[in-house]
Amino acid sequence: MILLALTVAGLALGGALHLAGQAATGDTSWLAVSVCGLAYAFWTVIGSFRRRRIGVDIIALLALAGAIAVGELLAGAVISVMLASGRALEGWAAGRAQRDLTALLERTPRGARRYHDGALKQVPLEEITVGDRLLVAKGDLVPVDGMLATGRAVLDESALTGEPVPVERQAGDPVRSGVVNAGAPFDLIATVTADESTYAGIVRMVAQAQQEQPPFVRMADQYAIWFLLISLAAAALAWVLAGADRAVAVLVVATPCPLILAAPVALVSGMSAAARRGVVVKGGGVLERLARCTTLLLDKTGTLTSGQPAVASVVNAGSYAPDRLIALAASLDQASGHVLAAAVVKAARDRGCLLSTPDQVDEAPGLGIRGVVDGHQVAVGQAEWCGLTGAAETPDWAKAARRRARLDGALTVFVAIDGTPAGVLILDDPVRPDAGRTLRALRGSGILRIVMVTGDRGEVAETVGSIIGVDAVLAERSPAEKLDAVRAERQRGSVLMVGDGINDAPALAQADVGVAMGARGAGASSQAADAVLTVDRLDRLGEVLSVARRTRSIALQSVLAGMGMSLAAMAAAGAGLLPAVWGAVLQEGIDVAVIVNALRALRPPAAVARLRAGDAELTRRYAGEHAMIKADLEELRSAADSLGFTPPDTALARVQHVYKLLVTQVIPHESAEEHELYPALVRMFGSPEATATMSRGHAEIAHQVRRLGQLLDDIGAGPPDEADLADLRALLYGLHAILRLHTMQEDESYLSLADDTSRATPPA
């Protein structure tokens, strides 16, 4: 910037002196400017030689030397200004492109408020240890990864996730470092040290990304060598045919700023665009390789699935309603640190259940937990722990639940109340709602083959693979076998590998591009990978692939366009149509054009459609309502099952209760979706056809609910006979299948479109 200011001032001063009739003094000013540019060009050439690179700054050096030698001082001054402005513009462009990356470094927490001997003390970040209790004040950055100790917190996670709406966390929820406390102060229990925290890992990756020399820039250097040879040959020919002045004019327009600016600016711009969408890429070379990948390998657990158990359904024995059953179980599980207990507690809270404080708690590792909740003796755990001792004594509802769990690859947690088995909770690792949509988008972006590689059991892996639509499933694979799978697929083409666990790290390192699901922290997989998804959303993978391909295209386009325009200008200068001074001005315009074109990589691909802010909030609302709908589905399935092993009068009462839920909760929800949610989706997709099939699903659901009401009216209050039970069972199972499929389709195709479907709190 200092050089730019000096050269511009010198050029203007020389012009003013010439206009004032002091040509000699004006020439001296232009000479001084030319010498400044010559010295700067010489310094950059020496720097290139030290790095063992033959840069095209040599052309700028020769052009300045030639201009001074033949007395074209105005041209020399203009070249100096051009060179200085090109470097300044490069610095501004790169700085503009890296803004989103360097913002992470600038926001790094430096210290924390730690409780010690009943008082708060400000301590350096490196002194924090696991188990320390910290106070996070309003507006503070969370210094380390931890667990929310009490109450609730409202957090601004936009720096990590790109989601502008603050999110709410409850006591016991994990909190990542680097997010901002947007609500009241809260206490945090540190679960890792500062160096092991999410934010520290991201900062390390950013530092690596800024230091890497991308291969694509080396490609530009290869272009530059040929460009240098052509430029020197053209200048020599012009000298032979028309003299030194013509040779200088050729060298002036051959100044290679398009080559030395375009590729780096485009690649850093692409990295910035990816960072804004929650993907930290460890260098421009990764983007260039990512753009060439045609095969995708995916881990299952934590990548295609959430990676954490969740309650899929509640099967009760008839004595307690599902919500009451899970409320009692979750109240007791609050006292347990088991991962399944946490899933039960979360499921109960998602249903809006009020939890009580348990008493007389006794937990047996590997078996279960028991205690007193609201005056009831409650036991949660294995079947034997809850009073189911032998297969012959197992009731029909428990056998059916075990069969469902086995077929779905799920887990069962039994619940006993007051010494009697009361129900069973079925837990699974749910497929991410955005998984299927992401894989379809990746196929549309050039991925030709998708393979799931997992250490999980074959039947479970095949089920997940068939749901999301992969080309092949490789199950029960060890880390070494995953590595072999990557090597085998590399014989077909460039491989992109996505995983999240330590067992994925070797495969991530072996693949052409490894991407880690690092939203829960920067572990071994994040260190081995070339890029890290810092937000827990698989669909960002499709976005970053589009960014990579668009960035590579823009970089190549900028390089070739800059070279083409410079070669055309060289031809004009060689023919005597472009004097040295105007050639310098034209070359400055070419520089600006290629840099502006390279900066287009900052924008996301046009194909990435996103919901408006208000519409995104609408999808979050309906995603929350789906938790209620799924609870009603469990009641529906349970009522259908009860028709086979409970007294007819009791079974009929349960069906009538389910019909009431359908009429008062499910149908109003489907109707509201039709009139509120679907118009918002049409606005985004641009066509009513985008929701036409799902609207037909709403109509069919309403029709089947009406049929159920008519059937109940026909049966009346009397006990149903076998034919009535068969009709009811068929109708209930059919309704359950339609509603389950329809809800899952909405989750995948529509409700996962919002950037964050977690609970959100509007800004205060």
Query: What pLDDT, on a 0 to 100 scale, did the predictor assign at position 133?
Result: 92
98 to 163, 278, 503: CA distances (angstroms): 19, 14, 33
Q: Which of 145, 156, 187, 299 is catalytic?
A: 299
378 to 322, 372, 411, 549: CA distances (angstroms): 15, 6, 20, 57
At 364, the amino acid letter reads A
- Given pLDDT bands bounded at 50, 70 and 90, which one contains residue 220? low
Query: What pLDDT, on a 0 to 100 scale, did the predictor assign at position 199?
Result: 72
> Does any domain span residue 273?
no
Where is pLDDT greater, at 201 or 727? Answer: 727
Where is pLDDT greater, at 308 or 176? Answer: 176
Co-location of 592 and 669 in the same domain: no
> Does any domain span residue 757?
no
The β-bridge relationship of strands 495-499 and 295-298 is parallel
Q: From start to end of 40-193, where are the E strands?
A: 111-116, 119-124, 133-136, 146-148, 152-156, 167-170, 174-175, 180-181, 186-190
> Does any domain span residue 706?
yes
Q: From start to end of 429-536, where are the E strands?
A: 449-453, 472-474, 495-499, 513-517, 531-533
By the 8 A CB rule, do 475 and 457 touch? yes
Where is pLDDT greater, at 337 or 419? Answer: 419
Query: What pLDDT, on a 0 to 100 scale, did the predictor assign at position 378?
Result: 94
Co-location of 147 and 52 in the same domain: no
The pLDDT of residue 754 is above 80: no
Co-location of 86 and 219 in the same domain: yes
Residue 118 sits in a domain whose CATH number is: 2.70.150.10
Residue 295 phi, psi (nearest 5): -120, 135
Distance CA 713, CA 724 (A): 11
Percent of the chain scored above 90 by pLDDT?
15
What angle, 0 to 180 degrees and rounded to 10, lies between the N-to-C axes of helices 539-574 and 244-253? 170
> Does any domain span residue 274?
no
Number of domains in the chain: 5
pLDDT digits (tens, 9 = 90+) for 430-474: 888 888 888 988 888 889 999 999 887 788 888 888 888 899 999
The pLDDT of residue 218 is above 50: yes
Residue 720 sits in a domain whose CATH number is: 1.20.120
The pLDDT of residue 415 is above 90: yes
The whole-model pTM stands at: 0.66
Report the pLDDT averaged over residues 25-42.
87
> Does any domain span residue 764?
no
Where is pLDDT greater, at 612 or 128? Answer: 128
- Given pLDDT bands bounded at 50, 70 and 90, which one contains residue 134? very high
504 to 289, 302, 477, 748: CA distances (angstroms): 20, 11, 11, 26
Distance CA 161, CA 156 (A): 9
Where is pLDDT greater, at 288 or 324? Answer: 324
Co-location of 74 and 219 in the same domain: yes
Co-location of 185 and 238 in the same domain: no
Where is pLDDT greater, at 252 or 737? Answer: 737
Q: Where are the alpha helices (DSSP H) in 118-191?
A: 158-161
At 550, the amino acid letter reads R
Report the pLDDT averaged over residues 247-261.
69
Q: Which of 144-148, 172-176, 225-229 has the lowest mean pLDDT?
A: 225-229
Query: What pLDDT, on a 0 to 100 scale, did the predictor assign at position 481?
Result: 86
pLDDT digits (tens, 9 = 90+) for 339-377: 788 889 988 988 888 999 999 999 886 688 999 999 999
Query: What pLDDT, on a 0 to 100 scale, did the predictor assign at position 756?
Result: 46
Q: How much is the mean pLDDT over the chain?
A: 80
Co-location of 248 and 376 in the same domain: no
> Does any domain span residue 476?
yes
Examine the residue annotation and report whether 299 is marked as an active-site residue of this protein.
yes
Q: DSSP state, 646?
A: S
Residue 377 sits in a domain whose CATH number is: 3.40.1110.10
Q: Which of 143-147, 232-236, 368-372, 579-583 has the lowest mean pLDDT?
A: 579-583
Co-location of 336 and 381 in the same domain: yes
Where is pLDDT greater, at 228 or 25? Answer: 25
Query: What pLDDT, on a 0 to 100 scale, did the predictor assign at position 217?
Result: 47
The pLDDT of residue 679 is above 90: no
Which of 90-94, 535-539, 609-613 reaches the highest mean pLDDT? Answer: 535-539
By the 8 A CB rule, do 172 and 147 touch? yes
Co-location of 327 and 413 in the same domain: yes
Report the pLDDT averaged over residues 561-582.
82
Among 587, 574, 567, 594, CA closest to 227: 567
Distance CA 188, CA 121 (A): 14
- Among 162, 183, 207, the domain boundary falls at 207
> Does any domain span residue 137?
yes
Co-location of 347 and 457 in the same domain: no
Q: How far is residue 38 CA from its own chain's centroid?
A: 47
**Cα torsion angle, 266, 269, 275, 280, sign:** positive
Co-location of 744 and 625 in the same domain: yes
> Angle CA(409)–CA(414)–CA(416) in degrees, nearest 5?
170
Query: What pLDDT, on a 0 to 100 scale, did the predictor assign at position 755?
Result: 57
Co-location of 423 and 537 in the same domain: no
What angle, 0 to 180 degrees and rounded to 10, lies between the N-to-C axes of helices 73-97 and 257-276? 20
Query: What pLDDT, on a 0 to 100 scale, did the predictor assign at position 760?
Result: 34
Report the pLDDT averaged over residues 729-740.
90
The parent domain of residue 623 ranges over: 613-751
Where is pLDDT greater, at 535 or 673? Answer: 673
The residue whose two tokens read 């977690």 is 758
Co-location of 398 and 466 in the same domain: no
By the 8 A CB rule, do 534 and 507 touch? no
Largest Cα span, the chain? 117
> Does any domain span residue 9?
yes
Which of 271-275, 414-418, 573-577 reaches the highest mean pLDDT? Answer: 414-418
The pLDDT of residue 262 is above 80: no
Distance CA 508, CA 525 (A): 7
Q: How far is residue 267 CA from its own chain's centroid?
A: 19
By the 8 A CB rule, do 760 and 620 touch? yes
Report the pLDDT averaged over residues 121-140.
90
The pLDDT of residue 225 is above 80: no
Distance CA 613, CA 82 (A): 44
Q: Which of 163-172, 244-253, 601-610 has the lowest mean pLDDT?
A: 601-610
Query: What pLDDT, on a 0 to 100 scale, did the predictor assign at position 331?
Result: 94
The pLDDT of residue 102 is above 60: no
What angle, 0 to 180 degrees and rounded to 10, lies between the N-to-C axes of helices 722-746 and 648-661? 30
pLDDT digits (tens, 9 = 90+) for 68-80: 876 778 767 877 8
Where is pLDDT greater, at 658 or 517? Answer: 658
The residue whose two tokens read 């307690």 is 320
